[in-house]
Amino acid sequence: FMRGDWERAIAADGDDLRWVTNWCLPMLGRGTEAITSYRANEQRPLPPMVQLLMKASRQLLEDKREEALVSVQQFSSVRTFDPEGVYFVVRALVRLGQPSPALELLEQQVVEAGFFCHQILVCDPWLDSVRGDRRFTTIVKRAKERSQDAEAEFRRLGGDQLLSSSQ
């Protein structure tokens, strides 16, 4: 998913909740399948924050914008999710026409909080409407820098050698 290869991401999704599949299906024009999956998952006994994110995702795909915005705001107000999870709130906010709060979250609670996968920021079509924003460009640049720094530190500590010796 993070590299924009939607078909491959679906094929590799082994998660019971089918998160990755449900994020990718709309990219392939198969949003109805994702809605069906979200509805089924909403009936399961899941943590409230997971339920809320699924509900918001479904509402977005159903074009229930006001309801989706309320769900996203409820989710955002708790702030107990990891930076990658917050990324999915960001994309929802952008899709809902809320670029300022989306970019604030992206900068502070996603990239600076430890999720700096710049590839998805560049290829996620849900972020298209903010690509021309200078702040977005700066955030993507920062994410790329942090990613490169992490890779350099990994190599400096011999991580690449460790992985190659285990194969």
Closest CA to 42 of 66, 62, 26, 12: 62
pLDDT band at 38 (very low <50, low <70, confident <90, very high): very high
CA distance to 38, 122, 160, 167, per residue, from 22 (Å): 8, 20, 32, 32
pLDDT tens digit string along 81-96? 789 888 999 999 999 9
Residue given tokens 């949003």 in the structure block: 31
pLDDT tens digit string along 52-81? 889 999 999 999 999 999 998 888 777 667
Closest CA to 61 of 78, 51, 53, 7: 53
pLDDT band at 126 (very low <50, low <70, confident <90, very high): very high
- Other C-beta atoms closer than 10 Å to the C-beta of 51 total 17
Query: What is residue 75's predicted lDDT score, i.e. its pLDDT?
Result: 82
| pLDDT above 70 (res 25) | yes
Tell me the whole-structure pTM to 2 decimals. Answer: 0.87
Query: What percentage of the chain exceeds 90 in pLDDT?
Result: 71
Query: What is residue 80's predicted lDDT score, i.e. its pLDDT?
Result: 66
